[in-house]
Amino acid sequence: RDLNIQLTQLLNHLEIEKKQGEEIEHMRKARQSQFWWESPIDELGLNELVQLKGSIEELKNNIGKFASKCMMEQSNVPSPNMGANGFGRYDSLDNKFGLGINIAPPPPNSYYLGFRNGYL
């Protein structure tokens, strides 16, 4: 009698697991049809592959444009050691901007302290 009860419980548990598996599979298939680009490449059709290729190329172009924009913005940011004439030169006698000594670029991993060659 105890064995029959255990068998019945196991069969009920197995049935519940089967139903949950079917629900998960149904949800996976619905998701794949809604978000087809998340499917494995091998499972995509020709139209989906063409659309995916176009989207990836568009993404590549957008990333390239964004990177170019960032590079342009970076190059337009004035350096703290640049002189008024844009060449980073000081007059050698009275520290005014002009045609004097060239200031070397800061060493890597340094901090600008706001005065001539004041890097840590």
- Number of folded domains in the chain? 3
Same-domain status, 88 and 63: no
pLDDT tens-place string over residues 47-100: 989 999 999 999 999 999 999 999 888 887 665 555 544 454 444 444 444 444
Give me the pLDDT at residue 92, please: 47
- CA 41, CA 49: separation in Å to the nearest integer? 8
56 belongs to a structural domain = yes
Same-domain status, 83 and 72: no
pLDDT tens-place string over residues 12-39: 999 999 999 999 999 888 777 777 777 7
Tokens found for residue 25: 């599979």
117 belongs to a structural domain = no
Look up the domain containing 64 and give its range.
40-77
Same-domain status, 5 and 30: yes
119 belongs to a structural domain = no
Q: What is the pTM of this model?
A: 0.40
Residue 33's CB: how many other CB atoms inside 10 A? 9
Same-domain status, 47 and 66: yes
- CA 17, CA 11: separation in Å to the nearest integer? 10
- CA 71, CA 65: separation in Å to the nearest integer? 10
Look at the chain and count its residues: 120
